[in-house]
Structure 1
Amino acid sequence: MPEAVRGLTDNPGHAPSWYAASARDRRVRPMLQGETEADVCIIGAGFSGISAALELAERGYRVVVLEAERIGFGASGRNGGQIVNGYSRDLQTIATRYGKDKATRLGEMSLEGAAIIRARVEKYAIDCDLVDGGFFAAFTDKQMRAMEAHKADWERHGHPGLEMVSAQEVGRYVKTGRYAGGMIDRLGGHIHPLNLVLGEAGAVERLGGQIFERSRVIRLEEGTPYRVVTEKGAVRARYVLVCGNAYLPPQLPEISGRMMPVSSQVLTTEPLEAGLAQALLPANYCVEDANYILDYYRRTADNRILYGGGIGYGGRDPKDITAVIRPNMLKTFPELAGVRIDYAWSGNFALTLTRIPHIGQLRPNLYFSHGDSGHGVTTTHLLGKILGEAVAGHAERYDVWSSLPNLPFPGGLRFRVPLTVLGAWWYGMRDRLGW
Structure 2
Amino acid sequence: MDLLSANDRPGQYPASYYAASARPLDPFPPARGALSCDVCVVGGGFTGLSAALHLARRGYDVVLLEAQRVGFGASGRNGGQVGQGQRVEQDALEEMLGKPHARDLWRIATQSVDLVRALCAEVDMPFHDGIIHADHRARHVPQSWDYADKLNTEYGYDKIRPLDVEECRHLVNSPAYHGGTIDMGAGHIHPLQFAFGLARLAVLSGVRIFERSKVQELDAGNPTQLRTPDATVSARYVVLGCNGYLGGLQREVAARVMPINNYILATEPMTPEQQEDVIRSNVAVADSKFVVNYFRFSDDHRLLFGGTESYGYRFPADIASKVRKPMLEIFPQLRETRIDYAWGGTLGITMNRMPHYARLAGNILSLSGFSGHGVGMATLSGQIAAETIAGQAERFDLMAQVPTLRFPGGAALRSPLLVLAMLWYSLRDRL
- Pairwise TM-score range, normalised by the shorter structure: over 0.9
- Which residue matches 1:419? 417
Distance 1:132 1:48, change over 3 A: same
Q: CA deviation at 1:300?
A: 0.6
Q: Is the 8 A contact 1:173 1:284 kept in 2?
A: no
Give the letter for the 1:110 counterpart.
Answer: A
Query: In 2 relative to 1, CA 295–197 (structure 1 residues): closer, same or farther, beyond 3 Å?
Result: same
- Amino acid corresponding to residue 154 of structure 1 in structure 2: L
The 5 A counterparts of 1:22-421 are 22-122=21-121, 124-127=122-125, 129-155=126-152, 156-421=154-419
> 5+ unaligned residues in a row in structure 2: which ranges?
1-6
The amino acid that maps onto 1:198 is F
Alignment match, 2:4: none
Give the Cα–Cα distance (whole angstroms) in 1 for the partners of residues 345 and 284 of structure 2: 19
Match of 1:18 in 2: 17
Tell me which amino acid in the other structure corresponds to 2:148: K
1:4 matched residue in structure 2: none
In the aligned structure 2, how far is the partner of 1:319 from the partner of 1:150?
A: 40
- Between the aligned partners of 2:311 and 2:392, the Cα distance in structure 1 is 36
- Matched residue type, 2:334: L
Cα deviations across residues 203-223 of structure 1 (Å, max 9, x unaligned)?
Answer: 011011111111111112333
Question: Equivalents in 1 of 2:169, 2:423: separation in Å?
Answer: 31
The alignment's TM-score, normalised by the length of structure 2, stands at 0.94
Size of the aligned set, in residue pairs, is: 424
Q: What are the ranges of 5 or more consecutive residues in structure 1 without an aligned counterpart?
A: 1-6
In 2: Cα distance, 1:139 partner to 1:355 partner: 21
- Identical aligned residues as a percent: 38
Per-residue CA deviations over 1:389-431 (Å, capped at 9, x if unaligned) read 1001001111111122231111333332333333333333333
Q: Deviation digits for residues 155-203 of structure 1, max 9, x if unmatched?
A: 3223221011111112442112221112101011111100001101110
**How has the CA–CA distance of structure 1 residues 169 and 203 changed in structure 2, closer, same or farther, with 3 Å as cutoff?**
same
Secondary structure (helix, strand or coil) at the match of 2:216 reads strand
Structure 1 residues 362, 144: closer, same or farther in 2, change over 3 A?
A: same
Aligned equivalents of 1:413 and 1:210: distance in 2?
Answer: 32
Following superposition, the deviation at residue 53 of structure 1 comes to: 1.3
Runs (4+) off by over 4 Å: none
Q: Tell me, in whole angstroms, the C-alpha distance in 2 between the residues paired with 1:38 and 1:413.
A: 32
Amino acid at match of 2:364: L
For normalisation by structure 1, the TM-score amounts to 0.93
Distance 1:12 1:300 in 2: 26
Shift of residue 41, structure 1, vs aligned partner: 0.6
Q: How far apart, CA to CA, are the structure 1 residues paired with 2:56 and 2:147?
A: 37
Query: Matches of 2:205 and 2:322 in 1, distance apart?
Result: 43
Distance in 2 between residues matched to 1:136 and 1:191, nearest whole Å = 17
Distance 1:8 1:58 in 2: 33
Q: Specify the SS of the correspondent of 2:118.
A: helix
Structure 1 CA distance, aligned partners of 2:206 and 2:26?
17
Provide the rounded CA distance (Å) in 2 between the counterparts of 1:426 and 1:267. 25
Do 1:267 and 1:344's aligned partners in 2 also have CA atoms closer than 8 Å? yes
1:189 partner amino acid: G
Q: AA paired with 1:282?
A: R
Contact 2:356–2:369 (8 Å) recurs in 1: yes
Report the AA paired with residue 49 of structure 1: G
Q: Matched residues in 1 for 2:38 and 2:257: separation? A: 28
Q: What is the alpha-carbon distance in structure 1 between the residues aligned to residue 169 and residue 319 of structure 2?
A: 28
